[in-house]
Structure 1
């Protein structure tokens, strides 16, 4: 293997290698496009037959990737999508981009990683590079993935290479695409690091090598824990300042004029997405192995998880005071069900928790989201599957007791919302940011 390392590296540098990507979602498909753009052939693997068929037909299911891009690479033969994991034998690198959710007990669920590793082991070939990108606790690559792969009879570091490189996708961010974001790379040994770094260097602007897979895994958790803790802080400040009749958004805008020592974070109705609501608990779980508690992280989690209920309480109080009615039988329009603005991704969206809770309390709830025409099935909120967005009609806003802005899409006509709604619960300060001021608006 040592004698072949130079030739393996050269194949990546010359972009003559074939890259296999397992998991063609919001991480895997943009990664595939970054590799395709510089001339690599890519084989994409997914257990979702719908995604595979969409790609084969030249259709994209991700907002930031046009159908034309998929059609171009599929028709040229550079991109092949398949459910057949035996095709792993035909690639030089295997990149794992599968989900790492939490169980109902908020413990790591590595079932997708483990089942994927089993499939790889069945088809693993000498000289292949295997890289895990899924966010997880430090040690997963060598403690979980490596033993499964070695059941193939091949030895890590001797017969194949193993590395970890955390995904850093930010859906909807047009400034930082996959190829423009620095790539953290950690290998199981110096040679694995060399090979993995050679691959990523060929299609991203910058790589950041670290000493081990564990360090690379810790980098990703640190990034997301940093955000989770700071968002929890401003969420708590929002609650405190609201009790004091102080506008937290005004405070943050003034505070960020300080040219040093302050970084603005903004409150909201709760965390969403595939990273920040989940990743901190991976470290919390792993820390118990060392008889350590992560009190700061867990407190931040408690605050962020509680925010949907805070928003509902603000809505309930507003209905009591202004409409002389409670939530039961109230008609509510939720604006936005994706987890962030201007995208269609609904994973862990606080809107889903808010809608489900309101319906359990007797409210009639509709939603409008130009990016999400229908709510697909989710692990946490299966009862909402199939619920469809209403058509936009400003005059119909007057039929609702309240409009609840959860996600601040740019496509919204905030003037029409303020003009036609009886009450607006604004969790993003979006009306004020769009120059709309009214006593109908309650910030939450």
Structure 2
């Protein structure tokens, strides 16, 4: 088969779509936006009619139960994907659908279904399986099928491939191309977007890899070819776990340094001047977002394990998982040191999203910290410029309308997320007590983690 079958045609909105993005969540929409910007006729498929309807109306989706549910989207330049951004996509030819028949008319289909952690901390591949079954019934010969969801090594070949082949009657590597490419979307990053972030790809066959390269080459400045899909899948495992392990290390250092009276933030400032062998990570109240730590020991789609865990990953998850409890303890201690009990104390939480300058709350430690403070009897309020409403333990948390007045009246103000709009020097001057879990406030103006 020719290796260029993945290349889309340039054209206007009246031409048939060349690309189908399956799943319009935090992975799918940035891809669809990049493709539309590159003038690739694109459709977005999601089984959730609410997501599709909101996008068709020019509004960012609020989340739901479908493939694209659960997170706020972002512009390639790092800012939130606004209604204006969606309208630009629509004017560029992007359209959304819940009609799976549309999937049978494209040359390239990219599965961007979510794979959240289940109760047993294994990746839930059910949305990927559902997306694959939907696509398989419409799959045509010479189509390029790509998977971008976070998965275990082996998923593309051993989980996705059989579903596509049995549902379509076609054979991967012979009748259609199949490859994996780990998503590298970084919400809020204003330096790196889709174009200037290298794209890793690994195909089932060399022809599959080249078909994927032909497609992604239209979106990214650089395409990196892995040996195969397993290697490309393992890239995502390494990248995600690298982040979690290093955050766990610096979180442990934060607790250690506080106990011995050392300023960790000064330690990190000095350490990062080393020009080799060190990359600075900073502590925080916990780790959130869709980039979860992954232990491939639990291969849920095969019902087996590889016989040994990734001990560093397990330990990192344990350390990072303790941070919300530690932050809560620090809150109670600070209040007690200033003659106040946590019970009845007015506590203001600043920033409840998982990352600065985004609205996405997926995995944010703010929710656990809030619930623990509630259990101690604290009276909570919150402020977040990106989150207009917030519920914890099924109850709405009052939102502070006037930030400085709220900080002045609160017994304790806790910075959980450093949004760009926060004037931390001004907040420190107004707040009775300020606990800064991000080390963002000027030295000496607040208590730091």
CA contact (8 A) 1:133 1:166 kept: yes
Distance in 1 (alpha carbons) for counterparts of 2:218 and 2:9: 6
CA contact (8 A) 2:110 2:145 kept: yes
CA contact (8 A) 1:406 1:428 kept: yes
Aligned to 2:324, the other structure's residue is in SS state helix
Task: Give the drift of 1:285.
Answer: 2.0
Task: Give the drift of 1:26.
Answer: 2.0
Aligned to 2:405: 395
Is residue 2:379 matched to residue 1:364? yes
The structure with the greater share of residues assigned to helix is 1
Aligned to 2:394: 383
Among 139, 145, 150, the alignment partner of 2:154 is 139
Aligned to 1:59: 59
**Which contiguous aligned blocks of 4+ residues in structure 1 show a shift greater than 4 angstroms?**
13-17
Among 88, 102, 110, the alignment partner of 1:87 is 102
Task: Give the drift of 1:352.
Answer: 1.2
Aligned to 2:78: none
Aligned pairs (5 A) from 1:122-137:
122-137=137-152
Is residue 2:8 matched to residue 1:8? no
Q: Deviations over 1:267-293 (max 9, x none)?
A: 111001100xx2323x24249722122
Q: Deviations over 1:361-402 (max 9, x none)?
A: 3222111000111237xxxx7725x54632124123232211
C-alpha distance 382-187 of structure 1, shift in aligned 2 (>3 A): farther
Deviates more, 1:104-113 or 1:50-59: 50-59
Aligned to 2:448: 443
Q: Deviations over 1:10-38 (max 9, x none)?
A: x4486896100011122211111111112
CA contact (8 A) 1:332 1:400 kept: yes
Q: Deviations over 1:67-125 (max 9, x none)?
A: 3342233245x211011222111111110111111111212211111111111112211
Distance in 1 (alpha carbons) for counterparts of 2:165 and 2:393: 37
Aligned to 1:253, the other structure's residue is in SS state helix
Task: Give the drift of 1:6.
Answer: 4.8
CA contact (8 A) 2:348 2:406 kept: no
C-alpha distance 144-6 of structure 1, shift in aligned 2 (>3 A): closer
Aligned pairs (5 A) from 1:231-242:
231-242=247-258
Deviates more, 1:15-24 or 1:111-120: 15-24
Q: Deviations over 1:181-212 (max 9, x none)?
A: 10000001111111111111112111001111
Distance in 2 (alpha carbons) for counterparts of 1:184 and 1:6: 17
Aligned to 1:178, the other structure's residue is in SS state coil
C-alpha distance 151-437 of structure 1, shift in aligned 2 (>3 A): same
Distance in 1 (alpha carbons) for counterparts of 2:268 and 2:150: 31
Aligned to 2:29: 29
C-alpha distance 398-6 of structure 1, shift in aligned 2 (>3 A): closer
Aligned to 1:134, the other structure's residue is in SS state coil
Aligned pairs (5 A) from 1:163-182:
163-182=179-198
Aligned to 1:99, the other structure's residue is in SS state coil
CA contact (8 A) 2:371 2:393 kept: no
Is residue 2:123 matched to residue 1:108? yes
CA contact (8 A) 1:13 1:198 kept: no
Aligned to 1:159: 175
Count residues in correspondence: 425
Distance in 1 (alpha carbons) for counterparts of 2:403 and 2:312: 45
CA contact (8 A) 1:372 1:389 kept: no
Deviates more, 1:292-301 or 1:13-22: 13-22
When the two structures are superposed, what TM-score results if normalisation uses the length of structure 1?
0.91
Aligned to 1:175, the other structure's residue is in SS state coil
Distance in 1 (alpha carbons) for counterparts of 2:280 and 2:3: 46
Distance in 2 (alpha carbons) for counterparts of 1:138 and 1:306: 28
Aligned to 2:364: 349
Distance in 1 (alpha carbons) for counterparts of 2:84 and 2:178: 34
Task: Give the drift of 1:230.
Answer: 0.8
CA contact (8 A) 2:351 2:384 kept: yes
Aligned to 1:34, the other structure's residue is in SS state helix
C-alpha distance 7-271 of structure 1, shift in aligned 2 (>3 A): closer
Among 409, 414, 429, the alignment partner of 2:424 is 414
Deviates more, 1:85-94 or 1:49-58: 49-58
CA contact (8 A) 1:342 1:409 kept: yes
Aligned to 1:218, the other structure's residue is in SS state helix
C-alpha distance 245-284 of structure 1, shift in aligned 2 (>3 A): farther
Distance in 1 (alpha carbons) for counterparts of 2:311 and 2:223: 33
Distance in 2 (alpha carbons) for counterparts of 1:213 and 1:388: 47
C-alpha distance 193-382 of structure 1, shift in aligned 2 (>3 A): farther
When the two structures are superposed, what TM-score results if normalisation uses the length of structure 2?
0.90
Is residue 2:321 matched to residue 1:285? no
Distance in 2 (alpha carbons) for counterparts of 1:73 and 1:267: 37
Task: Give the drift of 1:173.
Answer: 0.6
